Amino acid sequence: MSNNNIQSVRGMNDCLPEVTDTWQVFESIVRDWLRRYGYREMRTPILEHTGLFKRAIGEVTDIVEKEMYTFVDELNGESLTLRPEGTASAVRSVIQHNLLYDGGKRLWYMGPMFRHERPQKGRYRQFHQVGVEALGFAGPDVDAELIMMCADLWRALGIAPTLQLNTLGDYESRQRHRTKLIAYFEAHQDVLDEDARRRLHSNPLRILDSKNPAMQALNEAAPRLMDELDEAALVHFEALQAVLRTNGIDFEINPRLVRGLDYYNRTVFEWVTDQLGAQGTVCAGGRYDGLVGQLGGKPAPAAGFAMGIERLLSLMELGSSTLAPQVPDAYLVHAGEAAQAFAWQVAASLRSAGLATVMHCGGGSFKSQMKKADASRARFALIIGDDEAAAQQVTVKPLRGTAEQTRVEVPLAIEFLKQAST
Ligand code: ATP
Ligand code: MG
């Protein structure tokens, strides 16, 4: 193959059929899980006005500063951005369509997100999230629901990430903490790295999130937000912990968990694993009570989370928790004109009965068709020759196991295949 062939964009992957099989099983588990919790799907455009993300996520965040795919629509000069996450779009849509007019809403979405990051295992430029948002609920009960439903999904997927929990408090306490942090870091200017210096006055809280080992000691001793929290935020956090304890959900309080998006307040959490190296967070979320108002809606409390599908699937693979791929129920082998005419009818009947049926196309001998049937991984070959066509019957040949082949009427073949596929 020549190097001149066009390749996919760096950090953006194809999902080939083998892998897509797994994704589909994952997606159907997720859909059923969300249905059972009373959450409803919404779909928003992949492109939004750049201003939405600047306002929602925050100007001085990694995402907005350096990770967004932003371009000018040359036809009208508007600045547009490929969505880097889903919460901003969900909230924009909820406000635009006044969805909260009759009370709280439980929503979810699933799809591709785009961030211009350095591609590596578990970090891509196009990646996929399942996002869950509960809007209009102020209490810690909904925070607990969101966290406990995650735990439920992990059981279904056969994985066991651990829960890290923190509270960021409310606006006033964050302001107090911010003032103290700036003073503290200003007093230690010499230890600050370049990132920290840049963030000192714009977003000092993010300095605490630094992965630079040289900054760790300084960060450990920094003024703690915990010490500034208001009574109401503490009560909220305590109540959440109480529900988690009662329901047997283990967690670890991590005071340094601050999240990379500005819109969070009070509860924040991450589900993490040590099995995926530096890309160990498989799911992250929290409360964002200010965002609806900040984006121009009538203020409403809200909380949610997003999980990274690629990371979840890698974690499942490491634990050899597998999602059974789809295989066809039947592969239709036929030779001769009359046989083919009958085969079309048989295929239609099988499909109407819900059986996944692959019709052989391209002719060839029985022998070569049987090879294709095997390669298709179908459970059965249904063989139709002139004899079968004349008798309106099919020969059912199991392609797995040791069962004998039998020749039967079509309705009987359908019954047989349906039994075999359950
Ligand atoms: P990280 O610290 O790993 O960069 P983040 O805080 O930027 O994560 P969020 O914005 O909270 O991530 O997104 C929620 C989840 O989406 C993450 O926990 C992760 O599982 C997944 N995710 C985020 N960015 C990527 C990416 N570039 N590639 C693959 N998955 C990602
Ligand atoms: Mg990130």
Per-residue pLDDT of the chain (422 residues; tens, 9 = 90+): 556 899 999 999 999 988 998 999 999 999 999 999 999 999 999 999 999 999 999 888 889 999 999 999 999 999 999 999 999 999 999 999 999 999 999 999 999 999 999 999 999 999 999 999 999 999 999 999 999 999 999 999 999 999 999 999 988 888 899 899 999 999 999 999 998 998 898 888 888 878 889 898 999 999 988 899 999 999 999 999 999 999 999 999 998 887 766 788 999 999 999 999 999 999 999 999 999 999 999 999 999 999 999 999 999 999 877 777 778 999 999 999 999 999 999 999 999 999 999 999 999 999 999 999 999 999 999 999 999 999 999 999 999 888 899 999 999 999 999 998 77
Q: Find the 266 Cα to ligand 2 centroid distance in Å.
A: 20
Take residue 125 and report the two structure tokens written for it: 């430029």
Dihedral sign computed on CA atoms, order 398, 403, 408, 409: negative
Q: Using a 6 Å cutoff on CB, does residue 279 contact ligand 1? A: yes
Residue with tokens 């789809």: 326
Rounded to whole angstroms, how far apart are CA atoms 246 and 147? 13
* Residue bearing the CA closest to ligand 1, atom 5: 260
Rounded to whole angstroms, how far apart are CA atoms 199 and 193? 10
CA distances from 208 to 21, 200, 221, 260, 377 (A): 41, 11, 10, 11, 53
Q: Using a 6 Å cutoff on CB, does residue 306 contact ligand 1? A: yes
pTM, whole model, 2 decimals?
Answer: 0.87
Q: Looking at this protein, which amino acid is placed at residue 234?
A: L
Q: Are 161 and 273 in contact (CB under 8 A)?
A: yes
Q: With CA atoms as reference, report the closest residue to 123 among 113, 132, 133.
A: 113
Q: Find the 38 Cα to ligand 1 centroid distance in Å.
A: 25
* Beta-bridge partners for 210: none
Q: Are 381 and 370 in contact (CB under 8 A)?
A: yes
Spatial CB neighbours of 38, under 8 Å, sequence gap ≥ 6:
106
Residue with tokens 């060839």: 364
Beta carbons within 10 angstroms of residue 66's beta carbon: 10
Q: Are 369 and 362 in contact (CB under 8 A)?
A: no
Q: Using a 6 Å cutoff on CB, does residue 223 contact ligand 1? A: no
Let me know if 282 is exposed, middle or buried by CB neighbors in 10 A (0-12, 13-18, 19+): buried
Show the CA angle centred on residue 255, arms to residues 249 and 260, nearest 5°.
Answer: 95
